[in-house]
């Protein structure tokens, strides 16, 4: 057996060669977190279109790395697939609305941590994004979903709570999606702003469930009735445009966490006249649901004190959260300035940390009744201990921006940092010497701003081209359980091919036969590319019980599934980062969570969660 854990470190040493940037370390609870700075920048052009011919934009509203797509290539770059979801779409009051949808976008990451500042064109080579496909979304009755501002309410049924509709004349369900999570069962959870609700969709885009939070969150009018009108503030409940911006999952326990962008109306979100108050809205709420059983279960609810501006005490609302283990989260907060925003000069864009350890859980308490605010007028009740919050990553740090050819303030050009950063995603570095290091992706929502847009065949011009910007940071997150994020990708073969994530997900072959043929003395002789086959897996059902093993094929329908593969070299390597928390049975190879073992004695070894190993056959 040959176990070359050193090769991963060697590749990463090459990637991160040169003088190290200055690191920033912060302490929260019992953990020390390290910001090693930005390592990549990329864009999706403002005039990009999807397979329907519509402008893609708004991908930063909600984003996650597709489970099973993340891997390290032979040349040291990383690749994967983003699942992204626009919000309500362009022109929220279009006559027919914008059918909600999610996109798949391939990306290749070439992290840079050298001492030389890159210019804008050089920086764009560190992260490349390529649109692949779109999945349109439908309600349980197969009706098309809309993103138009709601004016109607669907009465509750035996399976659903009251839900927002386009209007009484147009009874389509309407969503303003601001966050997304892929569950271990292949379904997706979406955080919505209109409700606020948490919707569950299958992989084909059909709604299969919904979670309504406690009544304190639900928008109620003066008569105590639910009213989802998005352009008006209710008497109690979520503020207009301040729903579940943040959604994340603890995959170890299958617990969903959803956080409001800022405080509820009764918790200081609005002043005594019912108008939005930026100075009293800092005490927002995060709520937890267990989704591993037959139905979602409320598991916790806490108050989070959002940061405020030093000069006027204005709340820095949260646009996204990311679970990083041990009751701790990253929170993306920002102002509205930057490219495509209110002004050119931004004063606050950060990825901060907060922990609910030691905070008071108010789940099921009187504070879930709208008549009992937890922070009336922005003053927190004395019996409630809030989460602990600390500053972490400064996204507008001048040196960090300059490193990747960006700037803050004038001139207002394509190198100006974007205004609306709203998405976070995470993937492991799989560095044997730094096993707690992760890549954290921040993605901006360009709000469909382009001079060359088209929706439903109708052109539009917003007067400014704002590309969808993406920044990648390398962070040390010791609280996150190794292997709890970023799935193992089962390769299609045992060869050191250059491959994109989609290629490797497109086929699997009989590994036992290929190992037998694949020694360096006997190169592969089969046709190119190899014939796809299936493998089987076991997974837990929602009750936590092991289900019967079923064959499945994860192939994706693409025109040229092997377009980015190269011919195999003389030696054949298997790259695996064992992350999937389930048992896999591949012909000739038995793969258990945390273990990789091949058949026929050609290679045998163990890979711990979060570690990458290289086996030579």
Q: Report pLDDT digits (tens) over 305-354.
A: 999 999 999 999 999 999 999 999 999 999 999 999 989 999 999 999 99
**164 Cβ contact partners less than 8 Å away, ≥ 6 residues apart:** 150, 152, 153, 154, 173, 174, 175, 194, 195, 228, 230
Closest CA to 610 of 434, 427, 435, 426: 435
Q: Tell me, what's the pLDDT at 519?
A: 31
CA dist 419 and 341 (Å) reads 5
CA dist 96 and 448 (Å) reads 17
Band the pLDDT of 534: cuts 50, 70, 90. very low
Q: What is the DSSP pairing of strand 573-577 with strand 550-552?
A: unpaired
Q: What is the mean pLDDT of the chain?
A: 79
Tokens 């959002």 correspond to what residue? 306
Q: Tell me, what's the pLDDT at 233?
A: 82
Closest CA to 94 of 170, 191, 207, 190: 170
| DSSP code for 549 | P
CA dist 218 and 370 (Å) reads 9
Confidence check: pLDDT of 196 > 70: yes
- Average pLDDT for residues 205-223, to the nearest whole number? 97
C-alpha distances (whole Å) from 45 to each of 62, 130, 446 are: 17, 10, 10
C-alpha distances (whole Å) from 257 to each of 283, 297, 440, 479 are: 16, 12, 18, 17
Closest CA to 236 of 267, 259, 198: 267
> Which of 208-217, 373-382, 562-571 bottoms out in mean pLDDT, i.e. has the lowest?
562-571
Band the pLDDT of 487: cuts 50, 70, 90. low
Q: Tell me, what's the pLDDT at 7?
A: 33
Confidence check: pLDDT of 181 > 90: yes
Q: What is the DSSP pairing of strand 583-586 with strand 573-577?
A: unpaired
Q: For residue 256, how many C-alpha atoms fall within 13 Å in the half-sphere facing its CB?
A: 31
Q: Tell me, what's the pLDDT at 376?
A: 97
C-alpha distances (whole Å) from 264 to each of 37, 113, 521 are: 34, 41, 68
Total count of residues recorded for the chain: 617
- Average pLDDT for residues 343-370, to the nearest whole number? 97
Band the pLDDT of 430: cuts 50, 70, 90. confident
Closest CA to 487 of 511, 504, 507, 508: 504
**382 Cβ contact partners less than 8 Å away, ≥ 6 residues apart:** none
Q: Tell me, what's the pLDDT at 546?
A: 38
Residues of 353-368 as b/e, b for ≥16 C-beta within 10 angstroms?
A: bbbbeebbbbbebebb
Specify the pTM: 0.80
Confidence check: pLDDT of 9 > 70: no
Q: Tell me, what's the pLDDT at 74?
A: 58
CA dist 592 and 183 (Å) reads 19
Closest CA to 177 of 78, 274, 320, 301: 320
Confidence check: pLDDT of 419 > 80: yes
Query: Do residues 163 and 154 make contact, with C-beta atoms less than 8 angstroms apart?
Result: yes
Closest CA to 330 of 339, 338, 340, 319: 319
In the chain, where the domains are located: 5-28+37-45+62-165+175-476, 501-616
Confidence check: pLDDT of 551 > 90: no
Q: Tell me, what's the pLDDT at 232?
A: 74
pLDDT in tens, 81-125: 999 999 887 654 455 668 999 999 999 999 998 989 999 999 999
- Radius of gyration from C-alpha coordinates of the chain: 24
pLDDT in tens, 513-528: 333 333 322 223 333 3
Q: Tell me, what's the pLDDT at 273?
A: 87
Q: Tell me, what's the pLDDT at 95?
A: 57
**224 Cβ contact partners less than 8 Å away, ≥ 6 residues apart:** none
Q: Is the peptide bond before 524 cis (omega within 30 degrees of 0)?
A: no
């Amino acid at each position: 057996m040959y176990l070359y854990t050193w090769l991963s470190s060697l590749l990463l040493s090459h990637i991160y060669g040169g003088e190290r940037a200055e690191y920033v370390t912060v302490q929260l609870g019992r953990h020390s977190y390290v910001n090693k700075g930005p390592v990549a920048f990329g864009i999706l052009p403002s005039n990009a279109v999807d397979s329907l011919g519509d402008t893609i934009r708004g991908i930063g509203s909600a984003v996650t790395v597709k489970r099973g797509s993340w891997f390290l290539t032979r040349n040291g770059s990383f690749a994967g697939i983003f699942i992204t979801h626009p919000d309500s779409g362009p022109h929220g009051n279009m006559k027919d609305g914008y059918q909600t949808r999610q996109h798949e976008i391939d990306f290749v990451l070439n992290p840079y941590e050298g001492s030389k500042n890159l210019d804008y064109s050089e920086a764009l080579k560190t992260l490349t994004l390529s649109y692949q496909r779109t999945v349109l979304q439908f309600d349980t009755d197969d009706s098309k979903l809309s993103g138009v501002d709601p004016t109607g309410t669907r009465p509750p049924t035996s399976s659903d709570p009251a839900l927002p509709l386009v209007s009484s004349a147009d009874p389509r369900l309407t969503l303003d999606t601001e966050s997304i999570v892929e569950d271990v069962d292949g379904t997706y959870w979406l955080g919505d702003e209109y409700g606020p609700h948490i919707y569950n969709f299958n992989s084909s885009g059909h709604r299969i469930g919904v979670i309504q939070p406690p009544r304190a969150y639900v928008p109620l009018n003066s008569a105590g009735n639910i009213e989802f009108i998005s352009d008006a503030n209710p008497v109690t409940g979520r503020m207009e445009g301040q729903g579940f911006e943040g959604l994340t999952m603890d995959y170890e326990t299958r617990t969903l966490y959803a956080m409001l962008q800022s405080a509820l109306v009764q918790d200081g979100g609005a002043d005594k006249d019912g108008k939005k108050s930026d100075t009293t809205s800092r005490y927002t709420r995060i709520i937890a649901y267990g989704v591993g059983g037959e139905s979602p279960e409320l598991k916790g609810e806490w108050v989070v004190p959002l940061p405020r501006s030093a000069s006027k005490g204005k709340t820095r609302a949260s646009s996204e959260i990311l679970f990083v283990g041990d009751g701790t989260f990253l929170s993306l907060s920002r102002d509205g300035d930057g490219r495509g925003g209110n002004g050119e000069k931004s004063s606050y864009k950060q990825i901060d940390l907060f922990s609910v350890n030691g905070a008071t859980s108010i789940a099921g308490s009187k504070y879930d009744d709208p008549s009992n605010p937890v922070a009336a007028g922005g003053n927190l009740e004395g019996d409630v201990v809030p989460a602990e919050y600390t500053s972490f990553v400064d996204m507008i740090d001048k040196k960090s921006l300059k490193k990747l050819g960006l700037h803050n303030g004038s001139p207002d050009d394509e190198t100006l940092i974007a205004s609306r950063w709203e998405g976070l995603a995470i993937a492991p570095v799989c560095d044997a010497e730094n096993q707690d290091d992760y890549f954290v992706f921040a993605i901006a929502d360009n709000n469909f701003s382009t001079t060359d847009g088209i929706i439903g065949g109708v052109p539009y011009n917003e007067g400014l081209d704002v590309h969808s910007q993406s920044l990648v940071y390398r962070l040390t997150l010791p609280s996150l359980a190794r292997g709890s994020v970023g799935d193992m990708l089962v390769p299609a073969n045992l060869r050191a091919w250059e491959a994109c994530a989609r290629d490797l997900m497109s086929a699997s072959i009989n590994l036992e036969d290929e190992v037998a043929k694949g020694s360096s003395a006997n190169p592969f002789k089969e046709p190119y590319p190899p014939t796809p086959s299936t493998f089987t897996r076991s997974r837990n059902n929602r009750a936590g019980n092991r289900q019967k093993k079923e064959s499945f094929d994860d192939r994706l329908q693409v025109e040229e599934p092997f377009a980015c593969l190269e011919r195999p070299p003389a030696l054949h390597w298997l790259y695996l980062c064992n992350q999937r928390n389930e048992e896999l049975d591949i012909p000739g190879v038995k793969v258990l969570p945390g273990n990789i073992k091949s058949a026929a004695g050609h290679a045998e070894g163990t890979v711990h969660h979060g570690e990458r190993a290289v086996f030579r056959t």
